[in-house]
């Protein structure tokens, strides 16, 4: 070896040194847990393709929200599963719709102890499962959908949500939502834009969780997994339209995108570790093929390292508990 001997292994020799020089830490305060609540349930129900994740009843959701706060998670992202659906997704706008009711329940339970967020999209509420209203020939009508999103945003804000997450990938959705919130006096409600959302097969288990009615796909509005520059354009538009935070989704297969978005904007960047990412690890772990906890924390560390400051993950509560024991 040439002198001086440069030996990077010196900084790996024991746990204390490794801890000292660790460049990335996942903080429970930056984890957000997605939760599902289903109208009419009296007991929570398991979701076969998402082991460990539940469709909550209103009661069990409140308890889970308290548990999440106790674990120290930074936020809760709520999704509603309605008992009935219609062509226009009216249950998303109705103050008595399951998601709006759940927002009220959770905010009443946890107040400002964590950030309460809601998915702002019609797909859980429409009979056809698309994220927007349909044209007569079955396409998704961008501008008619925007009007519905504006109403949905105001309904969610009236229910007390802190952050809305428009996730339908309609052009102009962030601007319309921001304007509607402001006009209704909800200037303090933030917008976490699903700015970059790919038409991904990794959403499979989520569609079981919300009992999605979708046939076909979302490729006319969600992005082509082949594209990166297009994502920077989406992010730029959303920030210009008033997004307070931007999200990339899915996470692990798109770390290059997370990293590029982080470099491109100054607003907080979130990444959504989606249902299929979670399910793959759970399935392999259930077979004894991988070490579940290590893989869980390794994926979260990688997403954080790539530049996501906020991570949505179905492991948020458990990971927060594990991380507290560790640091």
- Single residue of 61, 191, 274, 310 touching ligand PBG by CB under 6 A: 274
- Single residue of 119, 234, 238, 282 touching ligand PBG by CB under 6 A: 119
Closest CB 294 distance from ligand PBG, rounded Å: 22
Total interface residues for ligand PBG by CB under 6 A: 9
Q: Which span sits near ligand PBG by CB under 6 A: 36-44, 118-126, 145-153, 236-244? A: 118-126
38, 63, 179, 249: which is the annotated catalytic residue? 249
Closest CB 274 distance from ligand PBG, rounded Å: 4
Among residues 70 and 212, whose Cβ is nearest to ligand PBG? Answer: 212
Contact 306, 259 (CB under 8 A): yes
Among residues 86 and 182, whose Cβ is nearest to ligand PBG? Answer: 86
SS (H, E, C) the chain: CCCCCCCHHHHHCCHHHHHHHCCCCCCHHHEEEEEEEECCCCCCEECCCCCCCEEECHHHHHHHHHHHHHHCCCEEEEEEECCCCECCCHHHCCCCCHHHHHHHHHHHHHCCCCEEEEEECCCCCECCCCCCCECCCCCECHHHHHHHHHHHHHHHHHCCCCEEEECCCCCCHHHHHHHHHHHCCCCCCEEEEEEEEECCHHHHHHHHHCCCCCCCCCCCCCECCCCCHHHHHHHHHHHHCCCCEEEEECCHHHHHHHHHHHHHCCCCEEEEECHHHHHHHHHHHHCCCCCHHHHHHHHHHHHHHHCCCEEEECCHHHHHHHHHHHC
Residue 63 is among the residues annotated as catalytic for this protein:
no
Among residues 59 and 230, whose Cβ is nearest to ligand PBG? Answer: 230
Closest CB 209 distance from ligand PBG, rounded Å: 8
Q: Which span sits near ligand PBG by CB under 6 A: 8-16, 67-75, 82-90, 119-127? A: 119-127
Closest CB 264 distance from ligand PBG, rounded Å: 23
Structure tokens at 322: 């594990």
Contacts (CB under 6 A) with ligand PBG, residues 130-169: 167
Q: Which span sits near ligand PBG by CB under 6 A: 10-18, 116-124, 138-146, 258-266? A: 116-124
> Does residue 254 bind ligand PBG (CB under 6 A)?
no
> Does residue 203 bind ligand PBG (CB under 6 A)?
yes
Closest CB 121 distance from ligand PBG, rounded Å: 4
Residue 249 is among the residues annotated as catalytic for this protein:
yes
Among residues 105 and 119, whose Cβ is nearest to ligand PBG? Answer: 119
Contacts (CB under 6 A) with ligand PBG, residues 10-69: none
Catalytic residues, by residue number, are: 197, 249
Which positions touch ligand PBG (CB under 6 A)? Answer: 119, 121, 123, 167, 203, 206, 218, 274-275
């Amino acid at each position: 070896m040439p002198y001086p001997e440069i030996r990077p292994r010196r900084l790996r020799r024991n746990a204390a040194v490794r801890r000292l020089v660790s460049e990335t830490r996942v903080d429970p305060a930056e984890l957000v847990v997605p939760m599902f609540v289903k109208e009419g349930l009296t007991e929570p129900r398991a979701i076969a393709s998402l082991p460990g994740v539940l469709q909550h009843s209103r009661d069990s959701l409140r308890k889970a929200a308290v548990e999440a706060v106790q674990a120290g998670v930074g936020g809760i992202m709520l999704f509603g599963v309605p008992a009935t659906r219609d062509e226009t997704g009216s249950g998303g706008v109705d103050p008595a719709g399951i998601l709006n009711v759940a927002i009220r329940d959770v905010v009443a339970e946890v107040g400002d102890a964590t950030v309460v967020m809601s998915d702002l999209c019609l797909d859980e509420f429409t009979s056809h499962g698309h994220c927007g209203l349909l044209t007569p020939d079955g396409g998704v009508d961008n501008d008619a959908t925007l009007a519905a999103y504006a109403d949905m945003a105001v309904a969610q804000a009236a229910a007390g949500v802190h952050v809305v997450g428009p996730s339908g990938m309609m052009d102009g959705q962030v601007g319309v939502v921001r304007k509607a919130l402001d006009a209704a006096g909800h200037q303090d409600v933030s917008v976490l834009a699903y700015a970059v959302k790919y038409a991904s097969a990794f959403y499979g288990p989520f569609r079981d969780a919300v009992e999605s009615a979708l046939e076909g796909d979302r490729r006319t509005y969600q992005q082509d997994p082949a594209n990166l520059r297009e994502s920077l354009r989406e992010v730029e538009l959303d920030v210009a339209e008033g997004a307070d935070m931007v999200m990339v989704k899915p996470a692990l297969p798109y770390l290059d995108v997370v990293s590029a978005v982080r470099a491109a904007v100054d607003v907080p960047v979130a990444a959504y570790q989606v249902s299929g990412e979670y399910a793959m690890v759970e399935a392999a772990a259930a077979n004894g093929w991988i070490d579940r906890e290590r893989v869980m924390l390794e994926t979260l560390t990688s997403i954080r390292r790539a530049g996501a400051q906020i991570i949505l993950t179905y492991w948020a509560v458990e990971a927060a508990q594990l991380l507290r024991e560790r640091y």
